């Protein structure tokens, strides 16, 4: 065991076996680049944990955060208030595409999902207590707390006992795979399932991601979100969108629901909020809905660090930076060009099942997880750090990529695929 492995042996590693020390150890990051302990530099096509949307080490965000830490780091929101939380809520209200006018803050994406589900459950307690069931996607991922694991449909992401499985109904793609998942037939198939579920069950809430991130990097078929909204309206069902991954820019819009012209009743978001500087998540909700909750709309929730002044300041600085630099439009442009490059080069290649993308979230799907793993490794050696999830290699770089970095990233991934395929 080398020094790094020995140090890492004290660390409980999420999603990995206790003795699994595989993967690089990173020591520095700047812009779109990471450097590992061996001094190898790679383009970070994982954006940290998919959350460093503007690039690593943005001075204005880091400075604002540090300065707020020195002035007033945090107070307890149940007792008093801090200005940065008000300012952030006001800024978020001005951002298009989420349908909310009040914002509750938590720390992780999982907490935001739990909070959104809690608000929808409180609503149903007040309006019709029979409608506590929830509809989610078979391949959805909503976080790793026990409730979120119960709501998620992916077997590989949850082994804790199911807490509310009996009230969860799952939508699935059925026989549709690869590019077929984007087809109008897949859209009809899913919409029909939802209609049947809402007619046959007591479901009061539909919880979906506009883009199945952990579930394979899959954008829902175009127009499906609008169908889901329409069907929810027909049945008086609440639509909760999990925009933890897509929220704030990733798909080339501030929120992914904008693409389909949809407004959710509740939107949970997190990853793009502080550019990876600190933990923060949020739920956007309409005050009309809040007014219908029991106890005058009191939402009984809160974590020690909820809406910390420093985190809210980091988020405000992130929003300001994104607006000033046009990061959302940049993401759309870079994503479109990368998808074009990867599609042209890899379409029809042996072992490649699909090349797809939604803004700056691109996926190359292979015929096996082994191929995807080899591609990730070879791409790393060439200088591109990608994310492997099962048979899919995902690229979610920050929106600060220069034209040259964009070309390099596409080139490294294409070269890696060709090398791996040639060796098979």
Ligand X SMILES: Cc1ncc(COP(=O)(O)O)c(C=O)c1O
Contact with ligand X (CB under 6 A): which of 124, 137, 141, 269?
Answer: 141
Q: Which stretch, 13-21, 82-90, 93-101, 240-248, contacts ligand X (CB under 6 A)?
A: 240-248
Contact with ligand X (CB under 6 A): which of 232, 244, 355, 410?
Answer: 244
Task: Calculate the dihedral angle through the C-alpha atoms of 369, 374, 379, 381, rounding to the nearest 10 degrees.
Answer: 150
Draw the binding track, 67-106, toward ligand X (x: CB under 6 A; -: no contact): ----------------------------------------
Please identify, using beta-carbon distances, which residue of 144 and 415 lies nearer to ligand X.
144
Q: Which stretch, 173-181, 238-246, 322-330, 390-398, contacts ligand X (CB under 6 A)?
A: 238-246
Cα dist from 346 to 93, 182, 363, 395, whole Å: 41, 18, 12, 14
Please count the other Cβ atoms lying within 10 Å of the Cβ belonging to residue 169. 18
Please identify, using beta-carbon distances, which residue of 115 and 310 lies nearer to ligand X.
115
Contact with ligand X (CB under 6 A): which of 108, 149, 313, 316?
Answer: 108
Q: Is 270 in the site for ligand X (CB under 6 A)?
A: yes
Q: Which stretch, 74-82, 241-249, 294-302, 384-392, contacts ligand X (CB under 6 A)?
A: 241-249
Residues in binding contact with ligand X, number by CB under 6 A: 14
Please count the other Cβ atoms lying within 10 Å of the Cβ belonging to residue 52. 28
Please identify, using beta-carbon distances, which residue of 214 and 277 lies nearer to ligand X.
214
Using an 8 Å Cβ cutoff, are 108 and 73 in contact?
Answer: no
Question: 132 — phi, psi (to 5°)?
Answer: -90, -10
Q: Is 275 in the site for ligand X (CB under 6 A)?
A: no
In this structure, what DSSP letter does residue 395 have?
A: E
The residue among 367, 369, 334, 257 whose CA lies nearest residue 53 is 334
Q: Is 143 in the site for ligand X (CB under 6 A)?
A: yes
Q: Is 209 in the site for ligand X (CB under 6 A)?
A: yes
Instruction: Report the distance separating Cα 62 and Cα 207, nearest Å.
Output: 34
Cβ-proximal residue to ligand X, closest one: 109
Contact with ligand X (CB under 6 A): which of 52, 64, 92, 113?
Answer: 113
Using an 8 Å Cβ cutoff, are 347 and 416 in contact?
Answer: no
Please identify, using beta-carbon distances, which residue of 248 and 410 lies nearer to ligand X.
248
Using an 8 Å Cβ cutoff, are 115 and 148 in contact?
Answer: no
For 10, the token pair is: 């004290």
The residue among 406, 49, 413, 53 whose CA lies nearest residue 252 is 53
Please identify, using beta-carbon distances, which residue of 205 and 371 lies nearer to ligand X.
205
Which H or E run contains 144?
none
The residues, ordered by sequence, that sit 6+ positions from 248 with a Cβ below 8 Å of its Cβ are 53, 254, 255, 269, 271, 272, 273, 318, 319, 322
Q: Is 264 in the site for ligand X (CB under 6 A)?
A: no
Please identify, using beta-carbon distances, which residue of 50 and 289 lies nearer to ligand X.
50
Nearest distance from C-beta of residue 142 to ligand X, angstroms: 5
Taking 3-state DSSP, the helix, strand and coil percentages for the chain, each rounded to the nearest 5, stand at: 45, 15, 40
Q: Is 245 in the site for ligand X (CB under 6 A)?
A: yes
Nearest distance from C-beta of residue 100 to ligand X, angstroms: 17
Q: Is 389 in the site for ligand X (CB under 6 A)?
A: no
Instruction: Report the distance separating Cα 94 and Cα 383, nearest Å.
Output: 39
Q: Is 394 in the site for ligand X (CB under 6 A)?
A: no
Q: Is 240 in the site for ligand X (CB under 6 A)?
A: no
Please identify, using beta-carbon distances, which residue of 139 and 169 lies nearer to ligand X.
139
Nearest distance from C-beta of residue 245 to ligand X, angstroms: 4
Instruction: Report the distance separating Cα 31 and Cα 22, nearest Å.
Output: 25
For 365, the token pair is: 């799907």
Nearest distance from C-beta of residue 358 to ligand X, angstroms: 13
Please identify, using beta-carbon distances, which residue of 306 and 371 lies nearer to ligand X.
306
Residues lying near ligand X in the complex (CB under 6 A) are found at 108-110, 113, 141-143, 209, 213-214, 242, 244-245, 270
């Amino acid at each position: 065991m080398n020094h790094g492995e020995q140090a890492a042996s004290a660390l409980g590693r999420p999603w990995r076996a206790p003795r699994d020390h595989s993967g690089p150890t990173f020591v520095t990051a700047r812009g779109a680049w990471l450097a590992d302990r061996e001094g190898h530099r790679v383009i970070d096509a994982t954006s940290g944990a998919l959350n460093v949307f503007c690039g690593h080490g943005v001075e204005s965000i880091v400075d604002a955060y540090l300065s707020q830490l020195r002035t007033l780091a945090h107070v307890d929101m149940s007792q008093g208030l801090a200005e940065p939380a008000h300012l952030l809520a006001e800024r978020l209200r001005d951002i298009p595409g989420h349908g909310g006018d009040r914002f509750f803050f938590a720390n992780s994406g999982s907490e935001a999902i739990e909070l959104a589900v809690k608000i929808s459950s409180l609503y149903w307690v007040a309006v019709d207590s029979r409608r506590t069931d929830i509809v989610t996607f078979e391949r959805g991922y909503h976080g790793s707390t026990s409730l979120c694991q119960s709501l998620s449909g992916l077997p590989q992401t949850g082994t804790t006992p199911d807490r509310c499985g009996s009230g969860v109904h799952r939508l699935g793609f059925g026989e549709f795979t690869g590019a077929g998942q984007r087809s109008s037939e897949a859209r009809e198939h899913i919409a029909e399932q939802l209609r049947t579920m809402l007619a046959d069950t007591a479901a009061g809430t539909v919880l979906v991601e506009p883009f199945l991130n952990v579930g394979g990097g899959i954008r829902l078929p175009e127009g499906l979100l609008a169908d889901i909204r329409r069907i929810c309206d027909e049945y008086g069902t609440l639509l909760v969108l999990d925009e933890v991954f897509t929220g704030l820019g990733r798909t080339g819009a501030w929120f992914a629901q904008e693409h389909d012209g949809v407004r959710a009743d509740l939107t949970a978001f997190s990853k793009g909020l502080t550019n990876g500087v600190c933990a923060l998540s949020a739920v956007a909700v309409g005050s009309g809905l809040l007014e219908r909750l029991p106890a005058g709309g009191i939402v009984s929730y809160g974590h020690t660090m909820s809406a910390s002044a420093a985190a809210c300041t980091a988020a405000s600085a992130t929003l300001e930076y994104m607006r000033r630099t046009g990061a959302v439009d940049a993401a759309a442009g870079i994503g479109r060009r990368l998808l074009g490059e990867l599609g042209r080069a890899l379409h029809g290649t042996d072992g490649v099942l699909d090349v797809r993308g939604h803004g700056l979230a691109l996926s190359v799907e292979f015929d096996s997880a082994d191929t995807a793993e080899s591609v990730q490794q070879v791409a790393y050696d060439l200088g591109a750090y990608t994310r492997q999830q099962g048979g899919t290699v995902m690229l979610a770089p920050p929106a600060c990529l220069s034209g040259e970095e964009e070309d390099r990233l596409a080139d490294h991934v294409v070269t890696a695929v060709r090398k791996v395929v040639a060796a098979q």
